[in-house]
Amino acid sequence: MNSDIGTHLHDHLQGLLEGLDLADGRIPAPVADEARADLDRVVRRLELGVHHTVVALVGGTGSGKSSMFNALTRLNFADVGVIRPTTSQASACTWHTDASALLDFLGVQSERRISRESALTGDEEAEFRGLVLLDLPDHDSINPENADLVDRLLPMIDLLIWVVDPQKYADNVLHEKYLQELTDRHEAMVVVVNQIDTVPEAGLDHIRSDIERLLVQDNLEDVPVLLASAKTGHGLGMIRDHMKHMITQESIAARTARDELRAVARRLRQALAKDTPALPQTAHVTAELAKAAGIPAVGESIRVAVSGSGAAALTKVQPPATSRIEAIRETWVEQVGGPLPEPWKEGLSQAVQDRGSFYSHVEHALDSVPLPQPVDVGAKWLRFFGWALVIVGIVAFGLAFYWSIAPVWWGVSAGVIALGLIGVIWARARRKRTARTRSQDYLNRVTFNLAGVVHKDLEEPAGQQLAIHDQVLQATRF
């Protein structure tokens, strides 16, 4: 049997236990309490081990189960004959495995256990590693404790080998109390007709067909019927083949543990969202906060003031309305927590910064960015000197014309005028470039500060809550 099965089940178990601890009140108490009780039961089941394949010989008085047990184990261990009906104890043989905890749980006394490798067989039966073969008391014994023990152990058996004798295979107790009640276990049952050495060969086909007819009536038509003799060894190979096949399958202990874990997971998922919601883009809520404080208008006033040639006043940042900031915060929380069940939504809302702190942090983020200078000093002086050159050039041109100075001076004057106009145009272009830069820089700094507030007050605490939800959700998926 796959040795990773127990590890995987343990990992799933630990994931669910950790998820319950992390949820901490976000899962309804009745659901959480029931889940913990079920998980505790799985813990105890896993402690017994899930790598053992438990096969049991079950049958009535005189069917020869103990002889079959000895023949299959190739040991002379189980009580045979007149001793058998007097005991209500099960016997067990294990192959290359320590099943002490399991056998303790099953109630098999230590003196009624034997290990296959203790008989100096070495590894000759390594293919049966992990097998636990039980010889159960007679289910039809006059001692009621025998039947009680059989009834208690049947749900924990991976393969039920019903041993019947050629005369009592139609026993009503066998069919009505057991076989007909175990139709859901049909894939894990075999009927073995023992003691065929006492039956004429001509009657074997009749016995097989009659048992198959009874099994059809029991709704167990696909259960194999094997003819065997513990005394002569006939059919033992086929029985051992069935046991080997079961060793390759998942044990009932593993299936039961997995089913219980899945049942717990299904109940827990009902207290979770189908998927963990993602945080919205920071840029959107940051833009909403900036808009609430009139930051776009401030940025535009910076651009207009710096790009203009005259003095202009900047629009100052106005404290945003408390109700507007709170509305943005509540809308964000609702957007994030909307898909979550109510306890998770409440936990997320409580985790993010309260309205007073959030507003003060937003206000501080706005106030901590000073308004830039509304004038580009360099462009101002460049414009001044440009116009000065234009004036000088015009005056020089006029004087040269008036005094009839050589035409070359006219060209010099025109050049000075052109240089001055270039300076004026350059100054204008510089103001516009500086205006865009200062406006964008201011907007970027305010946006950065607001994004920091959104991250610290909203995204970080909300992200922690969503991470918890996602961890619990992932623990329920396997």
Q: Where are the domains of the chain?
A: 52-250, 282-475
At 125 the pLDDT is: 75
215 and 182 in contact (C-beta within 8 Å)?
A: no
Strand pairing partners for 423?
Answer: none
Grade residue 2 by pLDDT with cuts at 50, 70 and 90: very low
| Tens-place pLDDT, residues 290-345 | 999 899 988 888 888 878 766 666 777 888 899 999 999 999 999 999 899 999 99
pLDDT at 78 over 70: no
Higher-scoring residue by pLDDT: 3, 218 = 218
- What is the b/e burial string over 262-283, where b = at least 16 CB atoms within 10 angstroms of the residue's CB? eebbebbeebbbeebbebeebe
At 191 the pLDDT is: 95
Mean pLDDT for 439-467 is 93
239 and 205 in contact (C-beta within 8 Å)?
A: no
Tokens of 387: 């116009």
CA distances from 365 to 316, 438, 448 (A): 15, 18, 9
Lowest mean per-residue pLDDT among 46-50, 117-121, 363-367: 117-121
Strand pairing partners for 161?
Answer: 57, 190
Tokens of 85: 């009906």
Q: pTM for this one?
A: 0.67
| Tens-place pLDDT, residues 405-427 | 666 676 777 888 888 888 888 87
CA distances from 222 to 190, 216, 217, 243, 327 (A): 10, 8, 12, 17, 68
CA distances from 120 to 95, 115, 150 (A): 12, 10, 31
Which phi and psi angles does 226 have, rounded to 5°? -115, 140
Give the contacts of 221 (CB within 8 A, at least 6 positions apart). Answer: 212, 215
pLDDT at 17 over 90: yes
355 and 298 in contact (C-beta within 8 Å)?
A: no
What is the dotted CATH code of the domain comprising 52-250?
Answer: 3.40.50.300
Mean pLDDT for 186-205 is 90
Lowest mean per-residue pLDDT among 173-187, 256-270, 398-412: 398-412
pLDDT at 449 over 70: yes
| 13-19 long-range Cβ contacts below 8 angstroms, 24+ apart | 13/39, 13/42, 13/43, 13/46, 13/257, 13/261, 15/474, 15/475, 16/261, 16/264, 16/265, 16/268, 16/475, 16/476, 18/471, 18/475, 19/268, 19/471, 19/472, 19/475, 19/476
